[in-house]
Structure 1
Amino acid sequence: MIKHYSGWILMISIFLVGCSDDTPAIVQNDINGNEEESAILVEQTEDESSENEANTMIEFNLENEQIMIELSQVPILENYLAQIQDRQQALDDMKLEKIDSSTKDSLYLLSFSLYEDSGSYLLLDRSDQGSSLLLADLATVSDIIPSPDASKLLFIFNRQNPEKSWQRNKVVILDVENFTPLGVTNEKDLLFTSFKWPIENIAWQDNETILVDIPAIEEPTIAALDLWIESDKMIDQITLAIVGE
């Protein structure tokens, strides 16, 4: 059984990029085939006669393409696998999905460190030398919505309490071209970039504004949410304005 290592993942909330040497963090190769396969670890050297240490890579076979992730260039994955006894089971539980974006063809979402229905989510960009961004931990992705002009992506994550019939949500907004997270503001100073509020509905109003429906309560305490879920479930609509970070 794989233990869920969440402490160190929560501590790594910075923007993670490939190292500064010439080795790309993420490599894509075209292949023939439509069946996805479990991830495997691959040892590679640039020159078989070289005495240099082999690079350890995670290999994913997706539909018509192969993605190779250089572990030394993505520390969060390298550290995670170093703490796992059954590494093959951890690899089997990983899932890599290509993100459908009309403005960028190099984005992938990797889920790992799975426990029951929750896990950690790492966003990967294979352009240039490759970059990665930790989006959420102990969560499930519920939707990915592009802005009307496709310049941004809205990620919605949920964190379920098995003893409750409501769940808390978190949003992450990505500037697709620059691969950077964007902040949001609203007139009530409510926090949506951590798991605090349940979100009943969310949608883009335009390229710079998002509309969010949340419970009409003062604070999302457990007691208040329990009362709300048993009531008429009145909704407040909040307008989120996007700002750069």
Structure 2
Amino acid sequence: MKKMTAIFAVILFLAACTEEPVIVKSNSPPEDPDQEPEIVEQESDGDEETDEFIEFALPEEEIMVNLKMVPILNSYLQTMQDRQQAIEEMNLNRINSGNQNHYILEFSCHGMQCSYLLLDQTEENRAFLIADLAKLFQTTISPDKTKVLFHFNREQSSQPPYSDIVVMDLEKWEPATLYSQTSEENVLDYTRPILAVEWNEDNTISATVPDLTAPSPETLEQWENSEKPTTKIEFTLGASEDSQ
């Protein structure tokens, strides 16, 4: 899954390097903020062909996502028998990152698990696939406003769900590597529950997890029926392994 995400990220980055925008937005409130997302067509500049966009009505603005510039989204819709239904099931939300140019798109949902695209409406016009088969639980901006933390869950037969943390560097436009300072065990990649995540003032991260040596359905059930002891794991951030 991580490898596929990296491949799609490269495709998205290359597509976004052309002159056409990934996102076109209007700063005027939509006439109907409850309008379902829909496909709209626009003629290309100097070309008889038309480009397809998905138009989203947000409370304070209208956003159009250029399908040609987001190949994974375009490919997904081409496999759908009912494109309009697939589009109406999408959700787009703005991330309060300070510059109001970042959006998170939820699509391709199966039950409670979806895929998520991070979109950037700056001059770079970038898109990045940050998760598959997961549910976004929490989004938090770093104290210095340069990174955004995403806390994802995957439902399991046991409770609570297993989790992962993705930290996106908004300036470098790549995920940061998280290094655990307090545990030698891997607690990411949906290997155990993460109950809460928060930024520290020094841009490190604290994650609260069940205090279990080896999480399993049996030990988690015992934990649920106990006083639910927890422990904190501290993470520092480094560069993406793919960029090293």
TM-score higher than 0.5:
yes
Matched with 2:88 is 92
2:54 counterpart (52, 58, 61): 58
Q: Which residue of 2 aligns with 1:4?
A: none
Contact 1:12–1:76 at 8 Å: present in 2 too?
no
Moved more, 33-42 or 55-64: 33-42
1: CA distance between counterparts of 2:142 and 2:5? 28
Match of 1:196 in 2: 191
Q: Which runs of 5+ in 2 are unaligned?
A: none
Deviation at 1:185?
0.5
Separation in 1 of the partners of 2:39 and 2:117? 18
For residues 11-26 of structure 1, the aligned pairs below 5 Å read: 11-14=4-7, 15=9, 16-17=12-13, 18-26=15-23
Q: 1:54 to 1:242 in 2, by over 3 A?
A: same
* Distance of aligned partners of 1:192 and 1:122 in 2 relative to their CA distance in 1, 3 Å threshold: farther
Maintained 8 Å contact 2:114/2:133:
yes
Partner of 1:42: 40
Q: Which has the higher strand share?
A: 1
Residue of structure 2 equivalent to 1:234: 229
1:206 to partner: Cα distance: 2.2
1:7-156 mapped onto 2 (5 Å cutoff): 11-14=4-7, 15=9, 16-17=12-13, 18-33=15-30, 35-46=33-44, 50-51=47-48, 53-102=49-98, 104-156=99-151
Q: Corresponding residue for 2:168?
A: 174
Size of the aligned set, in residue pairs, is 234
CA distance in 2, matches of 1:88, 1:198: 35
1:13: Cα distance to partner?
Answer: 3.4
Task: Structure 1: state its 5+ residue gaps.
Answer: 1-6
3-state DSSP of counterpart to 2:200:
strand
d(CA) in 2 for partners of 1:30 and 1:205?
33
Residues 105 and 207 from structure 1, CA distance in 2 versus in 1: closer, same or farther, beyond 3 angstroms? farther
Judge conservation of contact 1:30–1:64 (CA < 8 Å) in 2.
Answer: yes
Q: How far apart, in 2, do the equivalents of 1:193 and 1:128 lie?
A: 33
Q: How far apart, in 1, do the equivalents of 2:190 and 2:60 lie?
A: 36
Checking the alignment, whether the CA contact within 8 Å between 1:25 and 1:74 is kept in structure 2 is yes
- Which TM-score applies when normalising by structure 1? 0.86
CA contact under 8 A between 2:116 and 2:132: conserved in structure 1? yes
Which 10-residue stretch deviates more, 22-31 or 76-85? Answer: 22-31
Match in the other structure for 1:205: 200
Q: Could you tell me how far 1:125 is from its partner in structure 2?
A: 0.5
Q: 1:235 to 1:201 in 2, by over 3 A?
A: same
Question: Partners of 1:215 and 1:64 in 2: how far apart?
Answer: 40
The code of the aligned residue for 2:158 comes to K
Identify which range, 15-24 or 112-121, moves more after superposition.
Answer: 15-24
- Going from structure 1 to structure 2, the CA distance change for 1:13 and 1:225 (only over 3 Å counts) comes to farther
TM-score (norm 2): 0.86
Q: Give the superposition deviation at 1:77.
A: 0.2
